Amino acid sequence: MPQATSNSCHESHTRVAVALAIVLSSVSIPCVSTASEPTSVAGPAIQSFLRNHCFDCHSDGASEGGLEFDVLGKSITGTADLAAWVRIHDRVQSGEMPPPDSANLSASERSEFTSALAAPLRRHHASEKGTVLRRLNRREYENTLNDLFGTAVELETLLPADGRSHEFDNVGEALGISMVHLERYLDAADLVLEAAIAKTAEAPSTHVIETHYAETREAKTHLGKVWKQLDDGSVVFYQAFGYPDGMLRTSSIPEPGRYRIAITGYAYQTDEKIPFFVGAKSFARGSEQPTLGYFDMPPLGSSGEMTTIELTAHLEHRYMLNIIPYGLVVSDYNIRKDGVDGYNGPGLAISKVRLEGPLHDEFPSRGHRLIFDDWQREEIIPNPPSQREKSWYKAKFNLSSDKVDQALQSTLQRVASTAMRREVAAEELSPYINLFHTEQERGADNEEALRTAVAAILCSPDFLYFREPAGELDDHAIATRLSYFLHRTTPDEELLRAADRNELTKSTESLLGHAKRMVADPRFERFVVDFTDAWLNLRDIDQTSPDQKLFPEYDKYLRDSMVEETRQFIATLIHENLPITNLVKSNFAMLNLRLADHYGIEGVDHADVRRVELPKDSVRGGLLGQASVLKVTANGTNTSPVVRGVWVTERLLGVHPAPPPPGISGVEPDIRGAATLRQLLDQHRNEDSCRACHALIDPPGFALESFNPIGGWRDRYRSLGEGERIDLRVNNRRVQYRLGLPVDSSGSLPSGESFAGFEAFRECLLKDPDQLARSLITKWLTFATGREMGFSDREEIESLARQSAQRGHRLRVMLALVIASDIFRTK
């Protein structure tokens, strides 16, 4: 990421912060109420039921389960009250309360109570749900600025982390704003404007780097030892992702941008393809090391021709390519004994590497044109002009116009309408016009003052917040909601034109036509990434590092493949309109050779993730058998049936268990391997306050005990203490772990149905596709609207689930139902 902005940015930054406060005080935010009126639950049908069946245990100081009606009162006054009454409704409706052994309730009495209570619950929730403002989260902010200005600046880590509501980080209730946010928004705007505005009058030339490993410093150290020099390149024999590094130091990137990369080589001394990794690396401390892709290098062709692998990637300044083969397990001893010339094992031969860039699809950038199209911007020729040829030279420009006020009005109108996702009225521009003139009075030139005004627009409430008045959304609000749902960015021109013509509110067919177009667009990948990051918690894939003594097979290739498998799986289900039952059990998986080896599936030899048909008895079809899910639901050493059980009930089934009662400690695993967590949980569940929830969450957790913390199948636990020694080597090293106690993955569901293991549990889940559909519809609506679904949404969600069932619960159909719903089209 760029580390510095122009001097003009730094000189004006302080006064921008002062001026921005003036702008924010002048720009209106859509007015909303912060609280609803109290809603009475004092009706006779409600209170009579409570007196007869609930007060003995929940009043006059008795507060079993933390509930006391004397404290709760007879009206709903806020979110906490609403949640408590909804829980009362649901527990009575399900038959959980009153306890069957303490009450003799008829079905009609139960139904009369829940119906009476449902009315005020719907009314109160409906009055609250349209009151919360929703702002762009930091990933949406980054996407939007880069798409508006034609840049590729990394902004997400610059901004404060967003709050989460359950799984999601785009829910308005959790997205506050502070002065720190505003300061960082200014920094982000500076970085984007600096990247977007042209530094030269003519289109910059591209750099071409042609290099190979023999030119690197590593050549002196490694050639003849673990690398072999050939007439047509260099061969590396050593194990991947370790010593020696594959950094190609002569590929240092001269300036940030998008580069076309070509790697020419072949698989050496083998008839098999050799998979390899391409990444980027920097010497800067703490810098990210992005993965650019995994590829296969075949052997020489029949005529001796090499293969060229091509890719395009964004690379930052001074980053270097890192090319490392996978699966070349060679010991130091082999090479020291025979030497590289005598060694006859396979290797990766790299003949040459070519980089070309930065690639400029347009010059100047769309952001440059957005700002300066009505101005004359001319380079100030230095004296002497030969300075322009110097490497240190930085061009200066003079920005002018015959009609400055008109040019200023035109620029701000264009930028504001584009940024605010609607046509902006002339009077709304007054604060920004005033800011421009204020900056001039303080000594700023035209360009500095204009950049200040544009930066203020990019920090304004009408840009940062979704303009969604309570009730039915207008066309521009629907266009914005649809675009941020499916593309995670501002609406494109085609969608905005439809909004200008009011097509989205007049025609459901038009709305769904745009949705279909957007799902087919490459930017839909952003939806897949962001939604799976939140829904399945893939964003926490690196939250723990597996213990290398217990899980020596875990490596970067496996980690990257885990995440890619799940994302491509969800994308395939949507694009191919497959039934929702595939989430639980599918006859295919998205695999590469690394995952196939990890899962014990034969016949997969490609480095990239592709669709692979599975054997009938495979446990890998569906989310619950995917390593990414199994890793994010475990720590680096152990698995917990509780954690995994909660994940299944919340993420797949849409059921949110109550948090543990105060004072109840968690169950810690026995790291010596002397007892399984299941055995410890058996004692824990004997406590009355724990039994009900654990009956719900433990069974799916027990079923998933057949998978270890990195998603491998297991019949016995691994242990670093007690257990049986095994003779097994990973990467030419003997494993240090032992085999401990056997796994018991059986269990019983709350319904009383028992299962003998994971496969049987999976079949139990398949019996209720309606619940899977209801849960996913709810997740999609939450992600699309930026608010949690509540009691007043239940009726429509049930209707959507029924319509989905009539169409076979197919995912693309479900997505269309969500977008056409009243919930999607109202605040």
Return the DSSP state at 674: S
Residue 401, SS3? coil
> Model-level pTM?
0.91
pLDDT at 342: 82
C-alpha to C-alpha distance for 329 and 732, rounded to whole angstroms: 7
Residues pairing with 108 in the sheet: none
Query: 189 φ, ψ to 5°?
Result: -60, -40
Contact 708, 636 (CB under 8 A): no
| Alpha helices, DSSP H, located in 7-106 | 7-26, 44-53, 55-58, 69-72, 79-94
By three-state DSSP, how is residue 349 classified? strand
Cα(307)–Cα(273) distance, rounded to whole angstroms?
11
Positions of the chain with pLDDT lower than 50, given as ranges: 1-12, 15, 18-19, 22-23, 26-33, 240-243, 670-674
> Long-range pairs for 686-694 at CB < 8 Å and ≥24 separation?
689/65, 689/661, 689/664, 690/660, 690/661, 690/664, 692/96, 693/657, 693/658, 693/660, 694/642
Placement of tokens 């119906």 in the chain: 115
- What is the pLDDT at residue 179? 86
In angstroms, the CA 40 to CA 384 distance is: 82
Cα–Cα distance between 822 and 827 in angstroms, integer?
Answer: 9
Please give the C-alpha separations between residue 369 and each of 145, 244, 375, 425, in angstroms, as whole numbers.
Answer: 14, 47, 10, 21
Would you tell me which CATH number, out of the four given (2.60.120.260, 1.10.287.110, 3.40.50.2000, 3.30.70.920), belongs to the domain 207-357? 2.60.120.260
* Angle, CA of 774, 777 and 778, to the nearest 5°: 85
Q: In 3D, which of 491, 564, 490, 578 has the Cα closest to residue 532?
A: 564
Which tokens in the block code for residue 741? 């106690």
Phi first, then psi, for residue 22 (nearest 5°) are: -65, -45
> What is the C-alpha end-to-end distance of the chain, expressed in Å?
37
- Both tokens of 329, joined, read 């397990």
Residue with tokens 């692998």, as numbered in its chain:
309
CB 73 within 8 A of CB 47: no
Give the residue extent of every domain in the chain.
39-128, 207-357, 468-521, 538-766, 769-820
Nearest to 136 by CA among 417, 477, 461, 532: 461
Tell me the C-alpha distance between 617 and 93, whole Å.
39
Please give the radius of gyration of the chain, using alpha carbons only, rounded to the nearest integer: 31
Neighbours of 254 (CB within 10 A): 12
Across 545-597, the runs of DSSP E, i.e. the strands, are 588-591
Specify the pairing of strand 207-211 against strand 347-357: antiparallel
Q: What is the 8-class DSSP label of residue 168?
A: B
Output the pLDDT for position 384: 86
What does each C-alpha distance from 37 to 12, 84, 158, 628 come to in angstroms? 46, 17, 39, 45
